[in-house]
Amino acid sequence: RSGAVLVTGGAGYIGSHAVLALLDAGWRVVVVDNLVTGFDWAVDKRASLVVANIEDEANVRAAMREHGVTAVMHFAGSVVVPESVANPLKYYRNNTAASRSLIESAVAEGVKHFLFSSTAATYGIPEVVPVREDSPKSPINPYGMSKLMTEHMLRDVAAAHPINYCALRYFNVAGADPQGRSGQSTAGATHLIKIAAEAATGKRGHVSVFGTDFATPDGTGVRDYIHVSDLAAAHVDALDLLIARPEENHTLNAGYGKGFSVLQVLDAVDRVTNLKIERRLEGRRAGDPDALVADNSAILAALPWRPKHDDLDGIVRDALAWERALGERDGS
Ligand code: UFG
């Protein structure tokens, strides 16, 4: 591998797993993270860590030069949908404006390839499920819009400058490194599997089921849960594709193409733990679609990548193992 990969948000949940996958594949890695929601201990020691904001162009460009960066993987950003509704400008700053600065730094330093963490939230409430990449993009919250705007910037920049990009639209990312090297560590979880793992390890008393009247087989929301290590591996393959085909850009759904309901997820947690975690049936959250499942034929055609951890019980098991390890680290 020649050159190095600059990973923004490499101290965070998905970014730290991408760092592991890149290092394991033989890449040199430099992480830029402001450690607002990430942790320096989450960055593998084989990587360099620059503590800076990604819109700090002087620091980012110096890191690109010093390390001979040829590619950027951009994970840094804000990710809590309800917060984006309450504070949209935070999302347009941390996601859209910060990405603009980062892309400008990359172009100025002659970086050749850019991988972007996008989201299925760009689709809004899809008319057809499984959802294809060319489905209408009508985000229903500022989070999804802030990411879609970045996709549009990348499209325009790649047309004007010698850089190509791949945007991966993530579905519901869950689980943790099967070797126990990283996992989801940020407090204030909102994601179902993380919340269920907290309940299973005694950190909370119950799990709320938000909505039981969706147009799904059991009435609860259906999502496409993808193991974070599979997602990280997809990024490494996508980088290889950008290098092999410098004229091409790609926008790919990252999911398994298989949905599970909230109740199916909670059944899996009960099965794996031998517990009966209390479920409280509650009303819907604002803006939750009935079902969000990827049509993943494009990523399967574009990349050699194949899911390796697409087993719900396995995802839950890895999430639980990390939750227990976190408990020991916190001394709880
Ligand atoms: N849910 C519950 N109880 C909880 C938490 C969630 O019932 O305590 C339900 C939700 O209503 C939904 C499902 O579990 O039906 C999954 O909810 P998450 O909050 O885990 O994830 P979302 O599907 O809302 O959103 C996630 C990411 C977004 C991303 C989206 C795209 O948070 O960033 O997936 O699929 F855009």
Q: How does pLDDT run across 155-202, given as a tens digit for each residue? A: 999 999 999 999 999 999 999 999 999 999 998 889 999 999 999 999
Q: Which of 260, 254, 276 is nearest to 196 (CA)?
A: 276
**Cα atoms in the 13 Å half-sphere on the side-chain side of 4:** 19
Report the pLDDT value the prediction gives residue 74, as an integer from 0 to 100.
98
Q: Domain 192-223+257-330: give its CATH code.
A: 3.90.25.10
- For the chain, give every residue range classified as CATH 3.40.50.720: 4-173+225-254
Tens-digit pLDDT profile for residues 258-317: 999 999 999 999 999 999 999 999 999 988 899 999 999 999 999 999 999 999 999 999
Report the pLDDT value the prediction gives residue 128, as an integer from 0 to 100.
96
Note the Cα 254 to chain centre separation in Å: 9
Distance (angstroms) between ligand 1 centre and the Cα of 77 equals: 17
Would you identify the CATH topology of the domain 4-173+225-254? Rossmann fold (3.40.50)
Residue nearest to atom 21 of ligand 1 (CA): 191
Label the pairing between strands 4-8 and 69-74.
parallel
Q: Would you state the structure tokens that stand for residue 98, as one six-digit string?
A: 């910060």
Residue 273, judged by CB atoms within 10 A of its CB (0-12, 13-18, 19+), counts as middle
CA distance 173 to 37: 17
Distance (angstroms) between ligand 1 centre and the Cα of 73 equals: 24
Q: Which ligand 1 atom sits nearest the alpha carbon of residue 190?
A: 19
Q: How confident is residue 21, by pLDDT bands cut at 50, 70 and 90?
A: very high
Note the Cα 199 to chain centre separation in Å: 23
Q: Would you state the structure tokens that stand for residue 286, as one six-digit string?
A: 């604002």
- In the block, tokens 């490499």 appear at 10
Q: Over the chain, what HEC string results?
A: CCCEEEEECCCCHHHHHHHHHHHHCCCEEEEEECCCCCCHHHCCCCCEEEECCCCCHHHHHHHHHHHCEEEEEECCCCCCHHHHHHCHHHHHHHHHHHHHHHHHHHHHCCCCEEEEEEEHHHHCCCCCCCECCCCCCCCCCHHHHHHHHHHHHHHHHHHHCCCEEEEEEECEEECCCCCCCCCCCCCCCCCHHHHHHHHHCCCCCEEEEECCCCCCCCCCCEECEEEHHHHHHHHHHHHHHHHHCCCCCEEEEECCCCCEEHHHHHHHHHHHHCCCCEEEEECCCCCCCCEECECCHHHHHHCCCCCCCCCHHHHHHHHHHHHHHHHHHHCC
Label the pairing between strands 222-223 and 260-261.
antiparallel
Tens-digit pLDDT profile for residues 209-256: 999 999 999 999 999 999 999 999 999 999 999 999 999 999 999 999
As a whole number, mean pLDDT of residues 35-62 equals: 98
Percentage of residues in the chain with pLDDT exceeding 90? 95
Tens-digit pLDDT profile for residues 69-89: 999 999 999 999 989 999 999
Query: For all residues of the chain together, what is the average pLDDT?
Result: 97
What does residue 98 show for φ and ψ, rounded to 5 degrees?
-65, -35
User: If you compute the radius of gyration of the chain from its CA atoms, what whole number of angstroms results?
Assistant: 19
- For the chain, give every residue range classified as CATH 3.90.25.10: 192-223+257-330
Report the pLDDT value the prediction gives residue 331, as an integer from 0 to 100.
64
Distance (angstroms) between ligand 1 centre and the Cα of 23 equals: 30
Q: How confident is residue 328, by pLDDT bands cut at 50, 70 and 90?
A: confident
Residue nearest to atom 34 of ligand 1 (CA): 172
**pLDDT greater than 60 at residue 66:** yes
User: Is the shortest distance between the CB of 172 and ligand 1 below 6 Å?
Assistant: yes
ipTM (interface pTM): 0.96
User: Is the shortest distance between the CB of 251 and ligand 1 below 6 Å?
Assistant: no
Catalytic residues: 143
Q: Which ligand 1 atom sits nearest the alpha carbon of residue 209?
A: 7
CA distance 131 to 125: 10
Q: How confident is residue 45, by pLDDT bands cut at 50, 70 and 90?
A: very high
As a whole number, mean pLDDT of residues 85-111 equals: 98
Is residue 31 within 8 A of residue 55, CB to CB? The reply is no
Tens-digit pLDDT profile for residues 110-144: 999 999 999 999 999 999 999 999 999 999 999 99
Report the pLDDT value the prediction gives residue 268, as an integer from 0 to 100.
98
**pLDDT greater than 70 at residue 332:** no
